[in-house]
Amino acid sequence: MSNILVTGGAGYIGSHICKALANKGYKPIVYDNLVNGHRDFVKWGPLVEGDINNKKLLTNTLQNFSINSVIHCAALAYVRESFDKPLEYFTNNVSGTISLLDAMKDSNARSIVISSSCSVYGIPKELPVTEDSVITPISIYGTTKAIVENIVEECVKNYNFRSISLRYFNAAGADPDGEIGELHEPEPHVIPNILESAFNPSMPFSIFGIDFDTPDGSAIRDYVHVNDLARAHIMALAYLEGHKGYIPINLGSGSGVSILQLVEKVESLIGRKLNIKFKSRHKGDPPVLFSDITMAEKVLGWKPIQSEIDNIIRDSMYYHRKQIKMKS
């Protein structure tokens, strides 16, 4: 059984990756400071509680658990928050990644799968977005991810590392078994907020921007099931066992859904209209983002199999209902 270090493994995406790793016979070693992660999401391997900038603890963890491969999810990841906290984002996302890479250099770990983001593309000039699209981030968060990719690529050239950066589009959904899911405070993501309004009629759902250049005026995004993302990380690890170099790869469903379309789908499931409030768009919000996922299929043999939007909403709703029952 191979030990895999998962930084940020107590978070939303990281915990789903850990479950997928365990189901494939790996032992996930979670490294998380639990600032945004959840201790009760660590179910499939040990937890090392520590900061991503703690190089000494990272090095000890890599050596003590004889780790050769890393999945790096630890990051501050809220686009809107990043405009207000640029130093925190650069310190955590960029400096933290440097600490991790430095610790890897001092140990036997040479393979790393990077949790990156479609935010590196900013407002794309052409759709769908390919890996060759121009990197022009418009948020601090996206800028940190673009810098991290550049740093990792240089480490591949100079330290015999091998790496894949997985550029997620909009991660969504939840574990179909209901063990883990989206649980942020405050919750920045669209689908959990729609569901919160669906289960609590007194709570309005806010749509930020109804004046985008899209068919219904609301932003269009590419939603990919978190389990599909988790599966891609395992396939990336397997690829790196036999291949050197650095590759960025898009992960999405390959199609876009508007915010208003999401609202309509939830309304059809609950049988009533939601309490909607329209507000001005947020800084840094592109009108349309959806992916070309040809590279993921070509390199990894990956295709989304759970990312139909109805399936994403259904799994999210199941987890949300479980959370409501636990609180009541």
- Which positions are annotated as active-site residues? 141
In the numeric block, the tokens 């997928």 are attached to 20
Judge contact between 81 and 57, C-beta under 8 A. no
The secondary element (H helix, E strand) that includes residue 3 is strand 3-7
Judge contact between 247 and 101, C-beta under 8 A. no
Report how far residue 294's alpha carbon sits from residue 308's, in angstroms, rounded to the nearest whole number: 18
Omega before 28 within 30 of 0, i.e. cis? no
> Which of helix, strand or coil describes residue 244?
coil
Judge contact between 288 and 282, C-beta under 8 A. no
Judge contact between 289 and 297, C-beta under 8 A. no
> Which of helix, strand or coil describes residue 232?
helix
Write out the two tokens for 322: 């479980």
Judge contact between 88 and 76, C-beta under 8 A. yes
Q: Which residues contact 304 (CB under 8 A, 6 or more apart)?
A: 224, 225, 228, 252, 253, 254, 293
Judge contact between 223 and 312, C-beta under 8 A. yes
Q: Strand ranges (DSSP E) for 161-283?
A: 162-168, 170-172, 205-208, 220-221, 223-225, 245-251, 257-258, 276-279
Return the biggest CA–CA distance within the chain. Answer: 58
- Report how far Cα 165 is from the mean position of its chain's Cα atoms: 12
Judge contact between 146 and 97, C-beta under 8 A. no
**Torsions phi, psi for 272 (to 5 deg):** -155, 165
Report how far residue 34's alpha carbon sits from residue 8's, in angstroms, rounded to the nearest whole number: 8
